[in-house]
Amino acid sequence: MGKKSKKDKAAAKAGKGSGGPTIKMIVENRKARHRYQILDRIECGIILRGSEVKSLRLGKCQLDEAYGRIKDGRLWLVGCDIAEYPQATHWNHEPKRPRELLVHRREMGRFVNKAKEKGLTLVPLRLYFNERGIAKCEMALCKGLKLYDKREKLKQADARREMDRAAKRGR
């Protein structure tokens, strides 16, 4: 085989040409993985205004306090903070307005029935643009973790880390 050109190396480094779908991550809710046990996931479309899309392309979004709400048979994203787009002037959007999520009726029915169980919460895990450039939200059906569960999880992670260090030293 011959040498790779700079373009080939750059494409390989960027993950292009691997055949898999390319998504552009906007924001990820990492706290959700620590605070909740994730039971089920669903990918949703989002109804957005133009200034919101522009702001998302700049990565100006926070999911820390966001949650899902089912109202009138529709799924809503509440508490998601998408910053105002500075160039939109008086056509700007409200940063924390509720946004409707688009889900297939069958998936919605399955998801709603599980959500009605005691102690389950709808939490957004991440916002991203798919390979076609459409904004998507990954919602999860979660159960809150107790403090002792969180401590146990941290202990297991520490033990795993120590074993990995010991294995590296032994080489």
Residues in the chain: 171
CATH number, domain 30-154: 2.40.280.10
- pLDDT one-digit tens code per residue, 6-20: 555 544 455 455 556
- pLDDT tens digits, residue range 69-105? 888 888 999 999 999 888 887 888 888 899 999 999 8
- The number of angstroms, rounded, from the C-alpha of 166 to the middle of its chain's C-alpha atoms is 34
Mean per-residue pLDDT for 48-72? Answer: 89
**Three-class DSSP category at 143:** strand
pLDDT tens digits, 130-143: 999 999 999 999 88
How far apart CA 101 and CA 93 sit, in angstroms, is 17
Does 2 have pLDDT greater than 60?
A: no
The dihedrals phi and psi of 80, each to the nearest 5 degrees, come to: -75, 125
Signed CA dihedral, 8, 132, 77, 105: sign only: negative
Terminal CA-CA length for the chain:
33
| Full-model pTM | 0.73
